[in-house]
Structure 1
Amino acid sequence: MDNRTNLDDYLAGLGISDADESELPPPAPDALTGTPTLEAAAEDPRSTLEAFLRGLLGRIDPDLQVNVTQADDALEAEITGENAAKLAGRDGRTLGAIEVLAYTVLAKQEGRGNLRVRVDIGGYRKRQAEALSKLAERLAVQVAKSGEPHELQPMPASERRVIHIALKEHPDVMSESIGEGNARRLIIKPRHG
């Protein structure tokens, strides 16, 4: 069993380390116009996140682009390019892993564990949110008609949040999260009174 617990150890295990920086592909043309390196970006979380993602994407597919914006409660990164949709992975698993790595790097580099990070690749999250909103509406009609609650399969907090928001103002039903950890799921039930 692998006992590595440090992000640097994981990256080294993947063949990525500080010593590898000289082997990185050349920066994308827009990076030459002033996009800071990870070390130079240390004072600004947005620049740190952008520098990390550019470095990661340079190893995966140099034709991918990243745009990082500051939202009210999080940093949001949009990865685009011809092959971006493939990078999301099956059921968004690769996207989720990139998001966890980006958050970890930001927390380590910036000491900002309180700042949320949201990454979208090729519009995957947007399409997923639209599909979940449609599902929420269909289930709301079903629950309102039958008067019986409907329990969904366990899902990540970000997906539960989309459904909660979609049903927040619904006159006939309400949503509630139940369970713990990976088993946390959402239940849609009739709104009483």
Structure 2
Amino acid sequence: MDNRTNLDDYLAGLGISDADEAESVPPPAPDPQAPAISPALSHPHEEPSVVLERFLQGVIARIDPTLAVTVREAEDALEADITGENAARLAGRDGRTLGALEVLAYTVLAKTEGRSEQRVRIDIGGFRRRQADTLAKLAERLAVQVAKSGEPHEMQPMPASERRILHITLKEHPDVMTESVGEGAARRLIIRPRHG
């Protein structure tokens, strides 16, 4: 399989092509004496929400200028919603593009703030909301199954954000409890009977 062709097809689907690259004027050569300044990092005393919003607006302007970004401060993270008619396509297969965008946004904020404590959650076209609803319903079904059988159920490895949804959903459940086991990408959740 030709990776170049697949990448070109993917970029064309996002409205980005080699023709776009050829038409753009190359940036001037950087001055080796000047400090490197990234546009997203050029205002070091800005609020993290402003930095995140500017970064995301820059990304989506290149992909689909009809999309809109809203950033708000939640209790434990900065949350951003990207909305618009074609927003759901931007999430990518199984939310992979969305996950990559979150990692980039987190990195930009960490470099701006000089620390990496700020958590970032991004939803694109309601993808995360739908995913959370699906996971919560799955957790409830599995809790009934575990409570009835008395046998623990071990999930497949999943990202921390998905395990968190399952933990929160079943936190107050009277018959089951949850626990995460394993390391790194192999970390998974086990639903166990609470008594027994």
Bin for the TM-score computed over the shorter chain: 0.7 to 0.9
Q: Which amino acid aligns with 2:62?
A: R
Unmatched 5+ residue regions in structure 2?
A: 1-20, 29-38
TM-score of the superposition, structure 2-length normalised?
Answer: 0.78
Q: Which amino acid aligns with 2:102?
A: E
Pick from 176, 180, 184 the counterpart of residue 183 of structure 2: 180
8 Å Cα contact 1:41/1:48 also seen in 2: no
Relative to 1, partners in 2 of residues 1:37 and 1:146: Cα closer, same or farther, differing over 3 Å? closer
- CA offsets per residue over residues 77-121 of structure 1, 9 Å max, x none? 000000000000000000000000000011112223101000000
Pick from 47, 50, 57 the counterpart of residue 50 of structure 2: 47
Structure with higher Rg: it is 2
Pick from 167, 172, 175 the counterpart of residue 170 of structure 2: 167
Q: Which amino acid aligns with 1:150?
A: H
Q: Kindly report which structure 2 residues correspond to 1:43-192, keeping only aligned pairs within 5 A, or say none.
A: 43-192=46-195
The ranges of structure 1 where at least 4 consecutive aligned residues each deviate by more than 4 angstroms after the TM superposition are none
Q: Which amino acid aligns with 2:177?
A: M
TM-score of the superposition, structure 1-length normalised?
Answer: 0.80
Relative to 1, partners in 2 of residues 1:43 and 1:192: Cα closer, same or farther, differing over 3 Å? same
Separation (CA, whole Å) in 1 of partners of 2:40 and 2:195? 55
Percent identity of paired positions between Structure 1 and Structure 2: 72
Relative to 1, partners in 2 of residues 1:37 and 1:174: Cα closer, same or farther, differing over 3 Å? closer
Q: Which amino acid aligns with 1:118?
A: R
8 Å Cα contact 1:41/1:51 also seen in 2: no
Separation (CA, whole Å) in 1 of partners of 2:45 and 2:83? 24
**Alignment correspondent of 1:25:** none
Shift of 1:40: 3.9
* Matched positions, count: 163
Shift of 1:42: 4.3
CA RMSD of aligned residues (A): 2.1
Separation (CA, whole Å) in 2 of partners of 1:133 and 1:59? 34
